[in-house]
Amino acid sequence: MMKPDEQPPFAEFMGMKIHEVTPEKVTAEIVVTSNLTNRNGVMHGGAVMAFADNLGGTAATANLPATGGSTATIESKTNFFAGIPEGDVARAECTPLHRGRTTMVWQTRITRGDGKLAAIVTQTQLVLPPK
């Protein structure tokens, strides 16, 4: 089982830097490199969603019961508000909307380097019992 402060290889592949992991909040940032952009030179929507999904999984893991278990995303919705250009830094803050016994709902706000809101991702994480 992965600990909340440990990240999967995918996070490193994307260049995510996790700054804070608590049961109440996960914060991180990612530099938008050319590998993460779409044809318009801004962070690809899939990369934005992957960034938020990783943080939601991290936050859910930080809230698993002491007896263990794991988590899986079962729903995700993204609203895009502004592009994040190549070379800029995407910053994210993931906070709980609901932390139940079998599901958790997380909201990740992603902003650009200038502070403008770029996206909000809301996702539901299923809590799986230990194997």
| pTM recorded for the entire structure | 0.94
Could you read off the pLDDT of 4-56 as tens digits, one per residue? Answer: 668 999 999 999 999 999 999 999 999 999 999 999 999 999 999 999 999 99
* 103-126 b/e (C-beta count within 10 Å ≥ 16 → b): ebbbbbebbbbeeeebbebbbbbe
Residue 92, both tokens: 């994210």
Quick one: which of 11, 10, 15, 108 has its CA closest to 59? 108
Residue type, 99: R
Residue 7: exposed, middle, or buried by beta-carbon count in 10 A (0-12, 13-18, 19+)?
A: buried
What pLDDT does residue 112 have? 98
| Residue tagged 């599901």 (tokens) | 103
What pLDDT does residue 3 have? 66
Residue 61, both tokens: 């893991």
Could you read off the pLDDT of 58-94 as tens digits, one per residue? Answer: 999 999 999 999 999 999 999 999 999 999 999 999 9
The answer to whether the CB of 67 falls within 8 A of the CB of 1 is no
Quick one: which of 79, 65, 70 has its CA closest to 125? 70
**Continuous H helices in the chain:** 9-14, 45-61
- Beta-carbon-side half-sphere exposure of residue 10 (alpha carbons within 13 Å): 10
